[in-house]
Structure 1
């Protein structure tokens, strides 16, 4: 089961956040977690957990019109990974939405909207571009000097591909549709990917994105084949109606970084990476011009 926590501090002695859990049977559950100092208790911390919302793909299918013409959702579809999309709180609406992306075993990348006040979790956009199991998703926010923002998403699949999306417009359209439909809508198309990098020979089990002080992004990934891959990615925003452009400035790889699946990777700073594997090794790498050392 995959879990993602959104934690927002309230005071020095209290914090609250939403915890999203997803896994088998295409189901997502959202809980509200409130923790506060309680010096009278043995643990010195008091926690309160409240169920907020849930979503199942088969329930969504049953509500569709003309569903007899559609292929029913596989009830065994799994959510392999979740990523909260930063900077999407639609504060201009009376009821602000938050958004999250999901990597799905049926080959899709899906985006959901969460409205905590109404206890709603809604599927707002999807794409079956990968056509194979999607293992990881990672969302990040790009902000230009003038304040213009782009919501970008990275997805990785079992064929070793790492794909990048600009989901700014789908999110804007979803916000409008949710507002007009009072929290209900038909899923939108996620659009065409900006770029695909064939980083590995098989499944990508770990993914991390880190912005460098100079502006470009380091995208690190680890695979079932034991390799790690790092690319330096520049985001360019066009003027007027021109869209987002991605450019790979640098690519480095270590084919046999581990003797087994790489299950975790983290960019600690621009020249340092940390990787973990089922070979029971936790390895610190220094990024150089040729390959991680």
Structure 2
């Protein structure tokens, strides 16, 4: 199993990040701390570990400007639905496959559509009723 997060930004892109190895390193580093010490002692005695030594595995350019809302959910098998709403008043819907292998994640867009003027103002929330 791979751990993948999505981020949406003011550049109109959604990025997919495979943070599996980073999480494993982070957890193994922090598990060596004594269980009897307090949370504050743990935090003060350990240098902060940088989690973002990685690049996105995939980026999808959708909006002309910022993305304010994002929904990502399983559709069927390894196919997922991605819905975004942005400052550009548009709603985008994409179907993506996300194949997870032992050492990597591969993302591919299989279909996408949009409504350029879904609202007369920026989209601030997306909800899917499945």
TM range (shorter): 0.7 to 0.9
Provide the TM-score with structure 2 as the length reference: 0.83
- Number of residue pairs the alignment of both structures matches: 119
Q: Secondary structure at the match of 2:26?
A: helix
Offset from partner CA, 1:82-133 (integer Å, 9 cap, x none): xxxxxxxxxxxxxxxxxxxxxxxxxxxxxxxxxxxxxxxxxxxxxxxxxxxx
Identify the match of residue 16 of structure 2 among 139, 164, 167.
Answer: 164
Q: How does 1:261-272 map to 2 (within 5 A)?
A: 261-269=122-130
Contact 1:152/1:168 (8 A) holds in 2: yes
Aligned-partner Cα distance in 1 for 2:32–2:50: 15
Q: How does 1:142-221 map to 2 (within 5 A)?
A: 149-182=1-34, 183=42, 184-190=46-52, 191-221=54-84
Question: Equivalent residue for 1:243?
Answer: 104
Provide the TM-score with structure 1 as the length reference: 0.39
Aligned-partner Cα distance in 2 for 1:181–1:196: 36
Displacement of 1:201: 0.3
Displacement of 1:236: 1.2
Aligned-partner Cα distance in 2 for 1:181–1:268: 43
Offset from partner CA, 1:65-97 (integer Å, 9 cap, x none): xxxxxxxxxxxxxxxxxxxxxxxxxxxxxxxxx
Q: Secondary structure at the match of 1:248?
A: strand
Relative to total residues, which structure has the larger helix share, 1 or 2?
2
Displacement of 1:267: 2.2
Displacement of 1:181: 4.5
Offset from partner CA, 1:21-58 (integer Å, 9 cap, x none): xxxxxxxxxxxxxxxxxxxxxxxxxxxxxxxxxxxxxx
Aligned-partner Cα distance in 1 for 2:77–2:31: 38
**Greater relative CO, 1 or 2 (CA 8 Å, sep 6+):** 2
Q: Tell me, which stretches of 5 or more residues in structure 2 are unaligned?
A: 35-41
Q: Tell me, which stretches of 5 or more residues in structure 1 are unaligned?
A: 1-148, 270-293
Q: CA RMSD in A?
A: 1.6
- Pairing 1:255–2:107 present: no
Contact 2:78/2:99 (8 A) holds in 1: no
